[in-house]
Structure 1
């Protein structure tokens, strides 16, 4: 059961990574695209780390540190990119 949940989390993480990359083809501003990519990448990476945490519980301190680091630094990068992104609605 743990293996199924672990592989599901890893699969969801890979899906989020590809889904975030697909938004780079839109007509929005560059910073908006990078913000979308960083949010999807953060969710995908954290899901993959959680799946690895279920798969290899003996490495929980390192994987938990990786999850916390992803949550803090990628989220801050996403907020900075969103703040710097122009609010021009002419691209829609």
Structure 2
């Protein structure tokens, strides 16, 4: 299964509490063809989320895009990715 990174700019900074329903919806839509693995959040000075970087495993880019479309979350783009661990360079 391939890895993808979805980038989501928030229209307005949001709290973790405000983002929780989006995470729950995304998790409920995940399936064998595309599933959300984890996310990193870029925060502003008040600790609110301004951008999300979401890791996905999926059979294809289209599978991720189709699932994200159902979440109605603004998306800057979905990109093929690989994960590199610093320990790989010891």
Task: Tell me the TM-score range normalised by the shorter chain.
Answer: under 0.3
Query: Which of these two proteins has the greater Rg computed from alpha carbons?
Result: 1
**More strand per residue: 1 or 2?**
2
TM-score (norm 2): 0.26
**More helix per residue: 1 or 2?**
1
Query: Comparing both chains, which one has the higher relative contact order based on Cα–Cα distances under 8 Å and sequence gaps of 6 or more?
Result: 2
